[in-house]
Amino acid sequence: MVMANKGVFQAGFNENNQEFIISGKLRPSNEIELESLLRGIEEAVANVQGRFYLNVKRLAYINNIAFCALHRVIAQLSSRRLDVQFVIVTSSVLGWSTRKFSAIAQRNDNVAVAEYDTEFYPGQSFLEDGGFIPILRNQTRLTWRHERDLLTQHGLQPGTDVADICCGIGDFAVLLKKEFDPSRLLALDHSRSSLEYARKIASDFGLTDIEYVYGDAAELLIADNTFDFVTCRHSLQIFDKPDMILRELFRICKPGGRVYVTNEKNSHCLGEPRADSIQWTYSEVAKLFSHFKMDVEYGPKSGRYLMDTGFEDVKVDTFMVTNRDGDPQDFAAVIQAWEDVYAGQMARDRGDSAEFIARFRQGFQDHISAALHPKGYAGWPIWAASGRKPL
Amino acid sequence: MCSESANELIEVSMRMDDFSSEWMHCDRISSYIARLVAQDRPDPLYYENLFSSAMNELLETVYLNHGSEGDLTCRVRRMDETDVIEIGLPSDEKTSDFYTDVVSALDGRDIEDLYNAALFAAGQRDARLGMFELAVDYKAKITVLTSSGRLTLSTQIAFGGAQ
Ligand SMILES: C[S@@+](CC[C@H](N)C(=O)[O-])C[C@H]1O[C@@H](n2cnc3c(N)ncnc32)[C@H](O)[C@@H]1O
């Protein structure tokens, strides 16, 4: 069941997870305009058992007229169906949402509010707390050398509207700003600590016109067809549902514009000498991430996923970051940051044994030695892919 | 008082007759202004969303409570973290009584109770609800000025910046 009102809001019930979803904008002049919506909720509740979810994560606006109506219906239904637990799912991205709906929960015993986007992705906590910052800071420095030219080949033009989704600490956005001077540059992430860091760096560099935005890549509050070029780097590989993110990237991209993604295939990191130990460790990295439902082997699959999402003119490139690119110390610092997080918190959380962790760490150390060895070679392959949204 | 140091960001006006002929004007004006004033804030989308929510409540209140002849004006001025939304409207005795009464209620100790009572009222909608919400949830400071058939509703509001 789907209902809509003048393209302003959408609502529908998903029976499989007993979830009623309302999205868009609810600003009616009176309750009568909401009649079909309210009836829809009543009918949905009539058929549920156990838990009923009212998902308002993407309900961007509600006026008090609609809120009161919604409250009245939920209060009635919840007092009638004491056997059902009502859960209102809100989003932390909207400043008013959790607070406002919590008032309903406070007044009705079997109604609760859950702010979901923060708990939504497995492994998300690793990426969102401060531990990842050293990794990201070092990585971008190394990849930029390759990507600067690639971006042009993938269609990025100066003076256009650009968004970097899952921007991390925002260093890529700063580089984009300097090199391509976009007319608009929005950088979005779901980590408040990273964004704070990003804003500080930008202001240190005197860059005032990068819009650093808190948001959820799976449910962007950005209008359709907004940007000429949308980037999403090293991030599809960390979601368990990357296709959801890709659809959002597609949606916010203008027809004729392009979406550009980079991803890794971690098991293919390599080095000499001690190739075997290095290879073993990186195959284990891939397994470790997949334990947390993240696919760091995504790189070579990215072209296919872009096509499946509806992009055309899909281009796929690979480049290898190596110790020979510039200062080998920079590469060694990246590897050390990987070891710290992967063999630290992540391996611990998976419950790995001390022996495993020791061997796991050894591969990173061998990779560092290879990077710093005057005759050594250390490599980290990356897939850059982009596609055009059809006109 | 603080108008000297405040930055004027935008002013729009239209005939009250036109404004009050179509409910969606509230939404359109608040969306338009929110988008504009949010641009310079650290997290523009977050700010825009809150600003539009607050401004829309004000406009809906005005839509339902105003005098007849004259213009609606909306002006936004900025003082650091705070924005001041000034809405000018034609006013008669009933209109000015309404706004003056609401504003004096906002200073009372029981404003949270009043807000909750209005929010969860069983019967008719309470016309003061939008302004109560701004005062309680957004800690807005709302004042009213009247002079010769017009009224200015001034709302100082800060959204705590982006988090
Ligand atoms: C591996 S990092 C890549 C960051 C950056 N693009 C780079 O290359 O340096 C993944 C980023 O995705 C962010 N992230 C995780 N879940 C997200 C979500 N639901 N919405 C937006 N960003 C999210 C994390 O906070 C993290 O900054």
Nearest by CB to B133, which of A64, A212, A221? A64
Distance CA B139, CA B83 (A): 12
Residues of B in contact with A192 (CB under 8 A): 163
Nearest by CB to A214, which of B43, B52, B130? B43
Question: How far off is chain A from B35, nearest CA to CA, in Å?
Answer: 12
What tokens does A35 get? Answer: 């009649």
> What are the boundaries of each domain within chain B?
7-162
Residue A117: the pLDDT is 65
Binary contact (B46, A71; C-beta < 8 A): no
- For residue A346, give every residue at least 6 positions away whose Cβ sits within 8 Å of its Cβ, in sequence order, or none: A126, A288, A292
Of 3.40.50.300, 3.40.50.170, 3.30.565.10, 3.40.109.10, the CATH number of B7-162 is 3.30.565.10
Residue A130: the pLDDT is 59
Binary contact (A67, B45; C-beta < 8 A): no
Tell me which of A213, A216, A219, A248 to substitute to probe the interface with B (most B C-beta atoms closer than 10 Å).
Answer: A213
DSSP string, A7-48: TTEEEEEEGGGTEEEEEEEE--SSGGGGHHHHHHHHHHHHT-
pLDDT tens digits for range A10-49: 999 988 889 999 999 999 999 999 999 999 999 999 989 8
A216: Cβ below 6 Å to ligand 1? yes
- For residue A142, give every residue at least 6 positions away whose Cβ sits within 8 Å of its Cβ, in sequence order, or none: A321, A325, A326, A330, A331, A334, A380
ipTM of the complex: 0.93
Q: Does domain A124-388 have CATH number 3.40.50.880?
A: no
Nearest CA to ligand 1 atom 4: A168
Q: Is the separation of the CB atoms in B16 and B71 below 8 Å?
A: yes
What tokens does A119 get? Answer: 């708990």
Residue B163: the pLDDT is 37
Listed residue (A342, A358, A366) closest to A275, CA to CA: A366
> What are the boundaries of each domain within chain A?
2-119, 124-388
Q: Which residues of chain A have pLDDT under 50?
A: 1, 119, 122
For residue B162, is pLDDT > 50?
A: no
What tokens does B156 get? Answer: 């100082």
State how beta strands A51-55 and A19-26 pair.
parallel
Tell me which of B48, B60, B119, B131 to substitute to probe the interface with A (most A C-beta atoms closer than 10 Å).
Answer: B119
What is this structure's pTM? Answer: 0.74
For residue B14, is pLDDT > 90?
A: yes
A127: Cβ below 6 Å to ligand 1? yes
DSSP string, A134-174: HHHHHHHHHHHHHHHHHHHHTT--TTSEEEEES-TTSHHHH
Distance CA A61, CA A94 (A): 9
Say what angle helices A64-80 and B129-137 make with each other, to 10 degrees.
Answer: 90
**A233 CA distance to ligand 1 middle (Å):** 8
- For residue A124, give every residue at least 6 positions away whose Cβ sits within 8 Å of its Cβ, in sequence order, or none: A118, A190, A238
Residue in chain B closest to A202 (alpha carbons) equals B42
Query: What's the CATH code, domain A2-119?
Result: 3.30.750.24
Q: Is the separation of the CB atoms in A368 and A233 below 8 Å?
A: no
Nearest by CB to B46, which of A64, A72, A214? A214
